[in-house]
Structure 1
C-alpha cells in the first residue's frame, strides 16, 4: 500500500479520547496520595499494621487497579467503546451457549497452549530469574491459575456475542486439535500478538516497584532549591506515570473495551528495531555497542556554576519528559509496542507522528551532552556523539517500521499520515526540510554526457 494519498481536509478523529488518559492520571495520583499518607490514614481508621508509607512492590502493583478502573469506566460509560463495530461484538443478538461451546473449547485450547508456550519461554530464558524480573515472575506465577480459571467463563460469554468468534486463538486451537481447517495467517497473527504481550508485560511489571517507591518515599521538604535535583525528581514522577499507564495498556487487551491487539507488526525489521531497545537485547545499556555514557557526565556537571542556565536546562528536560509521558497517557488503555490497536490522532500526536521518540531522543542529547568528554579527548567526543546519533537512528528506524505496519492496516491511519505530512507543525517542517535537501541533491547531480 502506498504511503502517499490525498490529505483530508481535517485531522481524523482519534480512536481514544483525552478523557481516558486523564481519568487514569486521577486514579494514579489518588493512590499515590493514599500510599504517601498511609500512616495518617491508618491512625484515622485504626487499621492494623505499620504506620509508614506504602511503598512496597505490591503497593506498586495495586496502582494498576487504581489507574485502570477509571480508564475503563470512562471508556465504557462516556466513550461507549464497547458499542463500536471495531470490537467485533454484536450485543443485540447473543447466540445460545450450545451453538458456540464447540468454538469456545477450541479457542480455549489455543489460548491455554499459547500461555503454556509463554510460560515455557519464561522458564528457559535466564534473564527472567534475576533482578527485577524475579518480581514479575512472582506476580505472573500467582496470577496464572486465576487467569486459567477465569478464561473459561470469559470465552464462553464473549463467543456468544462476537460476530466472528473464530479468531486467531481459535485458529491456533484448530491447528493443535487437527479436526477443522485453519488459516496459518491467523495463527501467525495470534502468536505475534501474544509474543508482544508476553515479552513486554514481564518487562513492565519488573520495573514497576522502583519508580513507585522513589515517589512514595520522597521527602519533598528535603529537596533543596537546586534546579538539578528538582528537575530529576519531577522527571522521576513523569517516568512513573509513563510506566504505570503503559503497563495498564499491555494488560488491557480486551475486545469489550475495544482495546484488543488487532495485529502485531509482521515485519522482522520492526521487531529487531524495537527489541534492541529493551533488555536483554538492549544495545544502549552500559557496556553495550551503543552505550553513549562512556567518559561522559550529566548536564548538571557540565553546566554547574551557571545557575540561570541550569534552571533553563532543567526546565527543558522536564518539558521533554512531560511530552514523553503525555504520549503514553494519550493512548489510554491501548499503549503497546509493535501493535496496531486503533489510530491515535490527538494529544501530542497532533504535532508529530512520533512524539515519544522525538522527545526521548532530544532528552538524551540534552541530558548527556555527548559533545563533551570527561577525558577531554577529541576521540571520546567524536565517539560519543556518533554513538548518540546511531541511537537516534535506531528510533528513526523504529518509527518507519511502525508506520509501514500501520499504513498497511487501516485507511484511517493513511488519512492521518497524509494530514500530518501537510498540516502538523513538526512533521510538516521535517518533510519540507527533507524535500529541500533532496531537491538540492538532485540539482547538484552530474548530468551524463550525451
Structure 2
C-alpha cells in the first residue's frame, strides 16, 4: 500500500505482511534471527503431518473445508449450536438482517475474549468438558444465550450491549466462565478489562455501533459503504471498521505512534538489523515496529461468515490481504517439527522466568514484548505463507490460507503438542499473558 501517516499505516491490514516479511526474509537468508534458528529442511515433515490430518478429516473433499473462524469453535464437540440457534430465531420470526447482527454480536465478543486460557482452566456444560479456545467459545455462547451480555435480557436476550459489558463485574465474569481458585483462567483481570473497554468503545462510537451500542450494528454501517447493486465491499473496509471502532480497547503501555495506540504491534531488534539503512521510515523506532493485529484478524476472519452468508450476503473482495494467525498453535507447530529452534541463551532466560512464575519448569516462558515472542510471531506468518504453497503442491489443489489454517496448521499444532507434551498438551513456548495476546 501507499505509505502515508505512520499511525494509519501500522493499523492497516497491509502492514502485517509487509512488516513481518522483512524479518522473515532476513532470517531465511541467514538461517537464524536474534532469537531462533531456522531449518526449512524440516518443512516437508510439517507438510506430511498436516496433509495426513486433512486426509483423515476431509478425504479429498477439499471444497468442504471451511475458512478458519470462531464458528467452528462455538460448535465444538460435534454440536450445531449456532445452526440450532439460527433455526430458533427463524421460527420466532427474526428477520435475516437481525440474524446477521445477532451473529456479529456473539462472534465479536467471543473472539475478543479468546486469548490463551492456560492449561488449567476448563468449562463444563451438559456433562461435557472443554478447554482452551473451544472452552472460551462455548462459555461465551452460553453467556450470550442466557442473556448475560444484554442490558435488556427480557426483551432482547440474544444481544451484546455496550452498557452491560462496561458494567460487567468480576463476579459476573467469573460465573460466566466458571472461574474459581480450583479453575483459574490465565489473564483474568486483563480479559475483564478488555470486555469493559469494549463496552466503552461500543457506547462511544455510535457511527459504527449505533444507538444501541451493539457490535452487530456494524452490519448496517458496512451496508452504507458497499456497492448496493452487487453488495460488494472490500476487505479493507471491514478491517478499517474494526480498527476504527475498537482501537481504544487495547491495554495502555502498548506501542503508540503519533500519540495513538496501534493495537497488537511491537518493536523488534531483528527488524532493525533486517532493515539496515534501507528502513522505510529512516527512524529507528518506526523501523523496528512489526504489526500482527491477531485478535482483529481472528475477528475479521470470523465475522465474514455472518456478513457473507446471512443478512445482506455481502460479497467481500481482497480477502487474501489477511495473513496467517501468529498464535501459539500455528507457531508451536513449526517449533515442534524443528523448523524453528529457540537459541540456548534465550531458552535459559525463559526457563528462569518459568521457575519464577512456578509454572512448567521444562517449558520456557516469555512476556508478550520479549523479542522471542515477537520474532516467533513474525516467522510464523512467513512460514504459514510457505506452508500454503507446499500443501497445495502436495495435494494438487488450491486451498486458501484460511482453509489450510482450519483444516491443518491449527489442528496439527494442537495434535503435535499433545504428542510431545501429553501431560499439559500445551505449546513448546509459553506466554506470560495479560489475556489480550494470542
Normalising by the residue count of structure 2, what TM-score does the alignment of the two structures yield? 0.28
Q: TM-score, normalised by structure 1?
A: 0.27
Instruction: Choose 1 or 2 for highest CA Rg.
Output: 1
